[in-house]
A and B are shown apart, each in its own frame.
Chain A
Amino acid sequence: MLSEEELQSNVSVASSPTSNCISKGGGLKVHNYFGLSDSSSVESSTLSGNVEDDKATISLKATELTLGLPGSQSPARETELDEKPFFPLLPTKDEIFSSSQKNIASGNKRGFSDTMYTEKNWMFPEAVATQSVVNKEVTQNIPKGQLGTLNNSSSPPAAKAQIVGWPPVRSYRKNTLATTCKNSDEVDGKPGSAALFVKVSMDGAPYLRKVDLRSYTNYGELSSALEKMFTTFTLGQCGSNGAAGKDMLSETKLKNLLNGKDYVLTYEDKDGDWMLVGDVPWEMFIDVCKKLKIMKGADAIGLAPRAMEKSKMRA
């Protein structure tokens, strides 16, 4: 991937004082694609020069369980990285979504977080190979999509999972093949369009709801739908607690409620375990999700302690 000089320089960048990455002497080459050398929570990935490994490593990182709600950033990371929340469960700043979606060349309507995690994606998200960690020379040699955009301060900072104009196939050909494949899917009657209903329960709510997971394309859509669905129950809760009884429950307050202050969204997977929603790629999630549950803060402590801390900090 990189010639020897670049590897050396990359390694030297990586071996900053706080880092615990493997040194050059060990015969292993270290690549700092995530720019997380200063964050001890994630070890640097080792690179054997085989790109297949890279892909595996990256996806492993992506599915790694981290403490804290997706969308919340560990304090160490926040300061130095331009890291976008991988799976913002709840609608975060609009600009992140809109700018990232603008950059999806294929016009794929899924959010950028989804495209980053398709198996086929070889691209290192631009967001994580940041300038703060990598020096100028190395920038040129790190495999990433848009060299130009990394240096061009005016470009949107979203991750580009697919490179514009690559592979070099005429758009006419791309469109024609896409149409053909779409038609064949319909002809084969693949269950691509079948609905996938799962039960949604909420602590304290008198009855459950059902949602069709396939009618959403990312976590953001799911969370907004759930918000709308469970508004009435939350209102009820507030009233009985007397905490915000007098205030009209505005949209933002509702968001705060669901945003980690009091409620956490969880799901039961195929193994029967209760997991925090948002860790895995959307496609993987809808494959394994059997039930959804909106848990109250106290119950959810075991799953998301950091979220609780953050909400206390905000309060």
Chain B
Amino acid sequence: MPYLGGEETVRELRRALSNPNVQSDPLRYRNTILKVIRTMSQGVDVSGLFSEMVKACATVDVVQKKLVYVFLCSYATLNPELSLLVINTLRKDCQDPNPMVRSLALRNMTNLRLPSLVEYVEQPLTAGLRDRAACVRRVAVLGWAKLHNLHPSSEIDAAVVNELYSLLRDPDPVVMVNCLRALEEILKEEGGIAINKPITHHLLNRLKECDIWGQSEVLRVLQRYRPQSEDELFDILSLLDSFLVSPHPPVMAATLSLFLSISSNLPVISLAALERVSGPLLAACGSGSREMRFAAVCHIQLLLRSVPGLLGPHYKRFFCGYAEPAYIKERKMQVLVELVNDENVAMILDELKGYCTDVNTDTAQAAISAIGRIGRSYSDRCLQILTGLLGLKQDHITSAVVQTMRDLVWVCPQCSDTVCLALDGCEETLQDIQGRQALLWLLGVYGERISTAPYTLEVLIDRVRSEASLGIKMELLTATMRLFLCRPAETQDMLGRLLHYCIEEETDMCVRDQALLYYRLLHCGIEKTREVLQGRRSDPSLGVLIGRPAKPVSQWARCFNTLEPLSQGAVEAESDSRGSPEHVTYNSKPNADLSDTLSCSHIEEVHSGSDSAMRCSDSSTNVLASSIAAPLSLSLSPAVSPEDFEHLWLQRQALHTERGAEKIEEVDCAWIEECVRCPAVLHCSPQSLQAAMQLVNIQTLAFTPQQMLPWRVYLYTHTQRSHSMDAPNTTLILGELLCTGEANQKSGVKKGTADSEAGAEGKEDQLVRKEMDATADRLRVSEDGQEEEEGIKVILNQQPKDDDALRQFLTILITVLNTLSSEKD
């Protein structure tokens, strides 16, 4: 910050400092120096006073000394020559009988950060390591780290390193911890201090003597240690148990990190640790410091990824306080969404409803989108609230509600009727671009059910000349085209006008090109247009994603207790990768057609999702599932995200149906359908199904709630089979369990090609999975016509093809399903 009159002040200070009268009066001298430091911290450049200050350094007054050192350390790098003068005073102070003066001198000598002074500093530092007073040793140990960082490339003195290692046994705990820190810095190139068994045990035994800062530091360094035996591991864990429930959040978090890293191969232990740590974490959520609360809530979000039901009973702790800042409220709402279950949904929705009218628009919009998220499982209640909010006629609320409804409808198409009814009249309140875009999208897709749709569009088309937003224009074009397909009589005229305007008058090339594209498309005939514009709709059954799969702990253990979970970006990416298209992705490229964006963003998400999955799972478990015969092992890593799965699934399904007529053998992937008789699985709760599958390392990605028809489950796993000499042969298996509920389904094995079906399906829209399955069923029924009891169809897809592995996997799967059914009986 520029400070007017700075030069004048400096001149005055210099005069005062060199005044002999001032120098002789200790109190006046100290006050003048105080003034210098004060001016310095106000941002004035007082480096010109360096030589005067060097003189002031030679004094017996410790307070004055400290003040001068503050000055010298800030400006030494600008005056390396003059700093040489200080060194003598400092070296003399290092011999002082008072340990405080010794430590002060030593600390500031190393804080000057002057490479040229290194030779003068080394000797006092060596002496400092053997000083009687602990406070001098503390400073000396860190001094070596500072010295090393001045010359990072220089040769490391082995004697010093050895001395530092031996000082790990120093009676003073701070000296010990400082040694750890110094060695970490000095040996950075070699990967830090060598953490072997004796050192680890020594550090662990002395952990209790350290204060909380030392404890967290030691625990952090110990994360590199790998216990040599299971017994040792459990000894360490039981020793650390009391630290896990420490009332100090830094210690608790560091201990949990250590737990997660050393027990990364034992998921049961990790989960138990998470359970145990939830108490102290919750306490931190109620801490008096807002910042601490925020950190705790962000870390709870991490925990919930792996143990979704962990804090269900404590959901009230995440109700937002009246005076809490918006950033905490937002995170708390995200947690609340995760904690929703049948018992608390009414309370949580009631609470969230209260936030929707918050004065802060960000909070209000976050609350509305949280309700939308809950709406994926409890759509009726949520839609009721959302519809009620539209009545407020406030533009930011209406905009958020319409966007939320759009996202909800994409995942749960069964809500579309309610949404269509609610949309009436909200175009008058909508002001912002995102809200209007969302409305246009809904009008286009559900135009045939909204009676006023053409009139709403007409008003907008009449005003298109004055429309500034590119996104709105594009959206308007697409919506009008879509509406034209289902209500041609009412829309034809306005579509003509809009196309004319966009082609003849619009200056923006994107809009113009889009309009031209649609124009030419219309020339190709109405059927073609319909095919292009009304391609894919979402699948209603996929929408009911109740059990979001629990992610393995290893996926986030790395970033636990770092700043990452607290940064804004992390959340957005996280919520993106989770489920359906969200408006966040549109903002980045407003000039693409929305429906295209939907699918594009989808693919992008898939990529980013799989990237992150790859990154995270490198260290994850490859445990042999216990119940499986030896040669085949299943593993969950690398993880496949739901989007990833959907993408792959659709792709392969398309591939399968296309190539159906040809020989399937040419493709390096297998597609098999099988029927299993175990109806009781249907009545099995999603949790137990998921748990059972995970036991054998099969990950369930999505399932419909129990007893719902058609009932389906999507799952995946990786198989690994080591051939006698070759490298292990891995394949990815994607699967679907399906029960349509028609009692007369046929059983029997259908493997490979299934020509007749494929031929029939080929004509259908290949993307619509549901229809295809239905056709398949119909065909099968007509084929055999024989009545059978309820069965579950298993559709498996493997890549690369490996028949043996696939068959073995199928046996495992059937065993699991049968076990589950028998348990149920």
Please indicate whether A and B come from the same complex rather than being unrelated chains: no
